[in-house]
Amino acid sequence: MFPASGGTDEATEAAEVTPPAGAAEAAAAAEAVSPGRRAGFCGRRALVVALTAVAAIAVIATGIVMGLGRHPGHPAARLAAPAASRPASSSTTPSSTPPSSPSAAASASSGSSALPAGYYRFTNATGFSIGVPRDWRVSHDGHYVYIRDPANSGIFLPIDQSDQPRPNPLADWRQQAANRQRSYPGYHLILLREVRYTQAEKAADWEFTYNRNGVMVRVLNRNILANARHAYALYWSTPVSDWDASYHFFQVFAATFLPAPAG
């Protein structure tokens, strides 16, 4: 039973270990969730699982599949399209995209152990923790932790983590955004900028929209360099039609996220 608001009890990785609802959503999230990645990692089991799931639904996942490789605690994401080093412009905001979210401000939420009513604190075995709505589902897929709205499988927050972070979250996101332009249908950049985030030494937000199987989706992907040992990505994804109504969930996720200690 989940603790009441403001309680100090913590849920751990006893949460069910299931892939996220909808393999297309899982593939899409994995492609952009990753902070500071390098090729040639050793978690090949994650690759096999991911490719098997995608193969089973090839009709709906075509064009979204990616390769995965991992060092322990440092998963890598390589887009199916050829990699590119050309940075995306942080000032590009196509007129066809929705207005930018409150994340467009250069200031981001402060971390807090306090929880709003209806939330409990989930603590992952790797040391980070986050406030989660008591009726939402937490599941695991390799190094990814998924938090999902039980009423809408298109609304979810994957959390990725790295123990070998790159030193510049904004430069990292610019490189990945350059790749994304050629790999996602209807991709439009909303913003790409550094943000001030209390839980991090440095942080950057990458916000964009794209067409996922006929549904326009909006994503806010926060790259968090917590310390020299830990980096994270909070990848908030919803259909464009649900963005405004559900954005308050991301605000709480960002405000309550606490990284693992540096030591």
pLDDT band at 28 (very low <50, low <70, confident <90, very high): low
Structural domain boundaries, residue 205:
10-22+89-256
d(CA 159, CA 147): 8
pLDDT at 130: 98
CATH number reported for the structural domain that contains residue 178 in this entry: 3.40.1000.10
- Asked if residues 67 and 40 have their Cβ atoms less than 8 Å apart, the reply is no
Q: Is residue 262 part of a domain?
A: no
Q: Is residue 65 part of a domain?
A: no
Nearest residue to 41 via CA among 67, 72, 66, 82 = 72
d(CA 62, CA 44): 21
| Mean predicted confidence (pLDDT) in 228-256 | 97
pLDDT band at 33 (very low <50, low <70, confident <90, very high): low
pTM for this prediction: 0.66
Q: Is residue 134 part of a domain?
A: yes
Domains: count for the chain: 1
Question: Which is higher by pLDDT, 149 or 262?
Answer: 149
Both structure tokens of 52: 């098997």
Residue 211: burial class (beta carbons within 10 Å; 0-12, 13-18, 19+):
middle
pLDDT at 182: 82
| Mean predicted confidence (pLDDT) in 145-158 | 97
Q: Is residue 40 part of a domain?
A: no
Q: Is residue 206 part of a domain?
A: yes
Both structure tokens of 210: 């794209």
Q: Is residue 29 part of a domain?
A: no
pLDDT at 150: 97
d(CA 66, CA 78): 6
Both structure tokens of 120: 């409990």
pLDDT in tens, 179-235: 888 888 999 999 999 999 999 999 999 999 999 999 999 999 999 999 999 999 999
Angle between helices 44-56 and 23-32 (to 10 degrees): 140
Exposure b/e, 231-259, CB count within 10 A at least 16 = b: bbbbbbbbeeeebeebbebbbbbbbbbbb
Q: Is residue 38 part of a domain?
A: no
pLDDT at 37: 54
pLDDT in tens, 87-123: 223 333 333 334 444 443 344 545 557 899 999 999 9
3-state secondary structure of 127: coil
pLDDT of 6 > 60? The answer is: no
Q: Is residue 35 part of a domain?
A: no
